[in-house]
């Protein structure tokens, strides 16, 4: 049975296809015009990248809400229809730090949890 989300899970108003600016540009998604809730109609696989500079140092992410001394890899969500090799992460790293990444290998771990 296929299920189509038609109503906002927050306020029960009908959802509409609304285009809004997101990290990667304007994207049309089912959104609630009453409360602004967005229906993410795709699973949320996440990619992580090791972004290494010419000097061998690795670019790490830092969140102000994390405890001191905690860092993470550069990560990003995949959109429906994207593949791990679609260069979404290097673009994200470039957006965050103004670096221009070089193409490199891609390693996927399907059906695994870390």
The pLDDT, as a whole number, for residue 28 is: 92
Question: In the structure, what pLDDT confidence band is assigned to residue 114 with cuts at 50, 70 and 90?
Answer: very low
Domains of the chain, first to last: 1-41 (2.20.70), 46-97 (no CATH)
Nearest to 29 by CA among 44, 3, 86, 37: 37
Query: What is the tens place of the pLDDT at every residue in 53-109?
Result: 778 888 888 888 999 999 998 787 777 677 766 555 555 555 555 666 566 665 555
The pLDDT, as a whole number, for residue 89 is: 53
The pLDDT, as a whole number, for residue 20 is: 94
| Average pLDDT over all residues of the chain | 77
Q: pTM of this prediction?
A: 0.46
Q: Count other Cβ atoms within 10 Å, centred on residue 51.
A: 21
Q: Is the pLDDT reported for residue 46 higher than 50?
A: yes
């Amino acid at each position: 049975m296929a299920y189509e989300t038609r109503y906002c899970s927050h306020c029960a108003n009908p959802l509409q296809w609304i285009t809004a600016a997101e990290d990667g540009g304007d994207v049309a998604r089912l959104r609630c015009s009453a409360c602004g809730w967005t229906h993410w109609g795709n699973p949320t696989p996440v990619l992580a990248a090791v972004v290494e500079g010419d000097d061998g140092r690795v670019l790490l992410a830092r969140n102000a809400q994390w405890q001191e001394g905690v860092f993470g890899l550069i990560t990003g969500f995949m959109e429906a229809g994207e593949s791990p090799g679609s260069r979404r992460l290097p673009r994200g790293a470039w957006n965050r730090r103004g670096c221009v990444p070089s193409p490199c290998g891609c390693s996927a771990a399907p059906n695994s949890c870390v």
